[in-house]
Amino acid sequence: MSRTAAHPPSAVQEPAARSHRLDGLEPDNLLAFMALLGLLRALEADDRTAPAPLRPRAAWDLDAPPLRPVLHLARPVTQGEIAESAARGVAALAAAHAFGEVRDLNYPRSRARALLRQAAEAGPGGRTWGDLLAALMSDAAVKEDKNPAEAAIDPTPLCLLFGQGHQHFLDRLASVPATAAPPPRGRGKAAVNLSPADCLAEALFAPWHRSDPTFAFRWDPAEDVRYALLAGDPTDAAYKAGTQHGANRLAAVGLPALTLSPEQRGERIRPTVLGGAQSAEGFSFAWPIWRDPATLAAIRGLLGHPDLREPGALVPLGIDHVRVARRISVGKFMNFTRARVVGEA
Amino acid sequence: MTLVLEVEHLTGTAFAALGPDTDAPDWPPQPDRIFSALVASWAARGSRDDERAALEWLERLDPPLIEASSGLPRRVPIHFVPPNDPGTGRSGDRSVMPQFRRRQPRRFPAFRPDDPTVRYRWCDAVVDPATLEALIRLAADTAYVGHSASLTRCRFLLDGTDSAPHALLPARRRVYPGRLQELRDGFASGRRPRPGDRATATLPPATERSHSVFASQWLLLEVVEADDSRVDGRPSDAGRPRVGVMPDLRAAAVVAKAIRDAVISGYKAIGLGDRVPALVSGHEPDRSPTRMPHMAVVPLAFTGVRHADGRVLGFAIVPPRGSGLLDDADFGAAMRALVRRGEEGSGGSRPVMRIWRTAKDGHVPFEIALAPTLQPTLRTLDPLSYTAPARVFATVTPIVLDRHLKATGAAKHDEIVQGIVAACRNIGLPEPEMIETRWGPRPAVVPEKHSAVVGAPSAWPSGGAPVWTRWRLPPSLASRPLTHAVLRFAEPIEGPVILGAGRHVGLGLCRAYPDLEPGVER
């Protein structure tokens, strides 16, 4: 592992083990949960070419507060090796995140249909591209328009960027995973360069510092910076919050795990995603907190369970509880709240 | 010994939000919030090592049980607040002056507890004197918890008793080893700390309390209008009367019966007129009175506090315990058939049901509008005043005795007491405790003309008072004797306590009363 950081994360100092607690991933943070999905997806992607696969699974450590996920692997490895494997996997998956000149998720229906058909006909080789498109849009769910054939697609409810404040979703979905590491921290000789693996290790194994000047997707509840809740002007550089780049990289490649599907609501066909639901209060995303190690496929199965939001309904499946984050509007921007436990205040 | 942290909210209000995206107050304040307040005190006191060690000891304990009263959340309007310290970079810019600063919307969720003191109990915690001393010092300097407007008095103490005036609640959030360091790191980097971890603590096994046949989950009917516009005593037009003044508490039984009749008419409106369940109508299909517990309708009057005047602010439908009536689909449909969206001046857009009574001559004695709700907006409408566990209960509305009195003189008093004791048995309660009197052991029941509850009218008017100042009873109860009473049970029992032959129309309704026995904490 190439290291140039002046303050290396503690990852490499940890001994090799088959289980690793992910101290950076908080249970009530949507970005952290999507980063967990991205981690599993990236490790599985790297496993396809690795001589000794890691076969990653994840569970939540319910016995040692604070609640955090634990990564379970098929063989003992160090945290550094996990980060390197994940970095290779993210790089492989990020290659599919190419949208050309399109910056916002507003394809016309005909174009979306053509892209989806193209991905479906590409066979196994186009699976990554197909998964990504299937998580972003469906040609069945479009916005109201006089010409339905050319109506813009109704994007995934996890898309919070539509160009407001010069924030473009596809732009970021392409650039964030392709940016292997944040810019050097500090200036001159004191500057710290992080490798791609360091960047991911920071996000996974240590509390987040959110000091990277990189782009994000507004999935982190800490990005809800309302003027009246701060001591200073949130647009002032002194108060402007940074991001945790490694978490956003992982979350960007985790998004394709949340496949979109069209559903009928009233007279219209609207998009929904695994774990998502629309109610009178707006869109919300729920995820379970499970006890036993589960693969990405098993987690996706749990997210799609029809009783996911019924308090206590999934206890026989090893689910301790379920958390829900609501999508909220703050002025012209949108954010996700910290997730609350289903059935509690 | 139990380590107790006592937190008294000095203004009687706790300002604390569950999060920036919600209007819900955080009540009772959770242990992670209290811990943060203690950490702030530690830092303000100079970050002493012995006090840090005490906090690190405290964060390793299991979550405490929280002893807190109920109360009501305060309404949460939007306040527009000036942001702090705007820096414009221009000299002479008046927009930095407080009067000219921009305003940003913000809410301040708050909770008004019935009792401002909350106690956090760490049962069986073994604390050494030095640690306890350090915690006491930290608590003494903790001037607020949550928002800085939540002024508090805090103290740690060791408590050897198990008595708890209020319900013990499990903590929803907790701290954990490393929380102090996490808070320090967050503060150093200028980040808002995330809430504590979810707690999964459980309550010690609760003692099964005695309870009556009535449920403690009520459907509230809030009076949404008191309009004096109706002066002629007649509906404004056929079938659509105007809403009038809420009758006095002394006519509550008549109104309660009208509400029950309205519910039955709701069943008829949905085509179930011949299948009204006995637990609603009180009658079997053959029209004979049912022997099973059935629905009661009780008045909720402004009583029991200083300045109370006995005004009726609502009614409540009290289902039999375990009947599941409020979850029954037919009952819900019948209620929906009764309600409609309110008009301007009659509850706004809230669904309301209109209740009125028409006499044989067409006269309309009363017309009222009630809004069904499960969330009371007034403390008077909170069922907890009637359902909270207590040893002593006092009547708000007089008990209608089940039998006519035959004895006279001193024996009459005993007959009334025995009638009240029998009324307790009739609703599944234990008999009031026996106490020693100069006449030997007697039930702890004090019948009296006047109510012990402030604001409740007497059981009968003074001599010479007009007839219309008496309690108005349905014809089937009109000749029965009435009495107020105070009762004391040997152990706390769970309310509601509704006694006597008029219990289904709101007579004999009792509310918990302070236990004045010497040596028993109020």
pLDDT at A10 over 70: no
The pLDDT of B358-379, averaged and rounded, is 81
Please state the rounded mean pLDDT for residues B135-149.
95
Q: Are B140 and B153 in contact (CB under 8 A)?
A: no
Per-residue model confidence (pLDDT) at position B518? 46
Indicate whether A268 pLDDT > 50.
yes
Q: What is the pLDDT of residue B284?
A: 85
Helix segments in chain A, DSSP class H: 30-47, 79-94, 109-121, 127-136, 169-178, 196-205, 245-254, 296-303
- Which range, of A195-204, B200-209, B396-405, B445-454, averages the lowest pLDDT? B200-209
Is residue B477 scored above 50 in pLDDT?
Answer: yes
Q: Which amino acid is at B514?
A: P
> Which two tokens mark B511?
């509310």
- The DSSP bridge pattern shows strands B110-113 and B71-73 to be antiparallel
Q: How many residues does chain A have?
A: 345
* Over residues B376-396, mean pLDDT: 87
Return the number of CB contacts < 8 Å for A and B. Answer: 65
* B182 part of contact set with chain A, CB < 8 Å: yes
Instruction: Indicate the pLDDT class of residue B508, thresholds 50, 70 and 90.
Output: very high
Residues of B with Cβ-Cβ distance to A67 under 8 angstroms: 197-198
Residues 6 or more apart from A81 whose CB is under 8 A from it? A1, A16
Among all residues of chain B, which has the CA nearest to that of A339?
B19
| pLDDT (0 to 100) of residue B349 | 63
10 Å CB burial of residue A212 (0-12, 13-18, 19+) is buried
Per-position DSSP letters for B451-489, written without gaps between them: -SSTTPPPSSPPTT--GGGSPP--GGGTTS-EEEEEEEE
Residue with tokens 């085509």: B271
pLDDT digits (tens, 9 = 90+) for B162-208: 666 677 889 999 999 999 999 999 888 878 888 999 987 666 665 67
Q: How many residues make up chain B in this entry?
A: 522
Per-chain mean pLDDT for chain B:
85
Report which residue type is found at A147: N
**CB count, 10 Å around CB of B409?**
7
**Closest partner CB to B197 (pick from A66, A229, A230):** A66
- pLDDT for residue A156 is more than 90: yes
Query: Which one of A155-169, A283-297, B87-101, B481-495 scores highest in mean pLDDT?
Result: A283-297
Checking if the pLDDT of A21 tops 80, the result is yes
Task: Give the pLDDT confidence score for residue B162 in this predicted structure.
Answer: 60
Tokens linked to A284 = 């919300």
Cα–Cα distances in angstroms (integers) from residue A198 to residues A8, A102, B393, in the given order: 7, 31, 68
For residues B397-416, average pLDDT: 88
Of B22, B83, B172, the CB nearest to A228: B83
Show residues of chain B in contact with A321, CB under 8 Å: 198
Residue B522's pLDDT is 38
Tens of pLDDT, residue by residue over B421-453, are: 999 999 999 999 998 888 888 899 999 999 999
Select from B20, B24, B177 the Cβ nearest to the Cβ of A226.
Answer: B20
Which among B96, B197, B200 is the top mutation candidate for probing chain A, defined by the most A β-carbons within 10 Å of its own β-carbon? Answer: B197
For residues A7 and A204, the answer to whether their CB atoms sit within 8 Å is no
What pLDDT is recorded for position B348? 55
Q: Is the pLDDT of residue B229 over 80?
A: no
Higher pLDDT, residue B94 or B346: B94
| Three-class SS state of A47 | helix
- What pLDDT is stored for residue B209 in this prediction? 76
**Taking residues A113-139, what's their average pLDDT?**
91
Q: Hey, are the CB atoms on B85 and A227 less than 8 Å from each other?
A: no
Q: Is B198's CB within 8 Å of A227's CB?
A: no
Write out the E strands in B160-311.
Answer: 168-170, 173-174, 197-198, 210-211, 219-223, 296-301
d(CA B508, CA A38): 64
| Cross-chain Cβ contact A233/B83 below 8 Å | yes
The pLDDT value recorded for residue B232 is 41
- Rounded percentage of chain A residues whose pLDDT exceeds 70: 93
Q: Under an 8 A CB cutoff, do A227 and B83 touch?
A: yes
The nearest CA of chain A is from the CA of B71 a distance in Å of: 16
B209: which 2 tokens? 């309390």
pLDDT at residue A167 tops 70: yes
Number of continuous H segments (helices) and E segments (strands) in chain B: 9, 27
Residue A282 and residue B510: Cα distance in Å, rounded? 43
Contact B179, B152 (CB under 8 A): no
Range with the largest mean pLDDT of A160-174, B84-98, B196-210? A160-174
Query: Please, which residues 231-260 of chain B have a Cβ atom closer than 8 Å to chain A?
Result: none
pLDDT band at residue B377 using 50, 70 and 90 as cut-offs: confident
CA A190 remoteness from chain centre: 32
Interface of B with A in 102-121 (CB under 8 A): 104-106
Question: Is the confidence at residue A4, as pLDDT, over 50?
Answer: no
User: B334 to chain A, minimum CA–CA distance in Å?
Assistant: 25
Report the share of chain B in percent with pLDDT over 70. 89
DSSP string for residues in B292-359: S---EEEEEES-SSTT----EEEEEEEPBTT--GGG-HHHHHHHHHHEEE--TTTTTTSEEEEEEE--
The pLDDT assigned to B137 comes to 96
Residues of A with CB under 8 A from a CB of B: 26-29, 65-67, 207, 209-210, 222, 224, 226-233, 236, 321, 326, 328, 337-338, 340-341, 344-345
Confidence of residue B90 (pLDDT cuts 50, 70, 90): confident
Q: Write out the two tokens for B440.
A: 């030997």
* pLDDT surpasses 50 at B226: no
From CA A75, how far away is CA B274, in angstroms rounded?
71
- Say what percent of chain B tops pLDDT 90: 47
Distance CA A130, CA A136 (A): 10
Give contacts of A328 with chain B, Cβ < 8 Å. Answer: 21
Q: Is the pTM of this model over 0.90?
A: no
Give the model's pLDDT for residue A13: 63
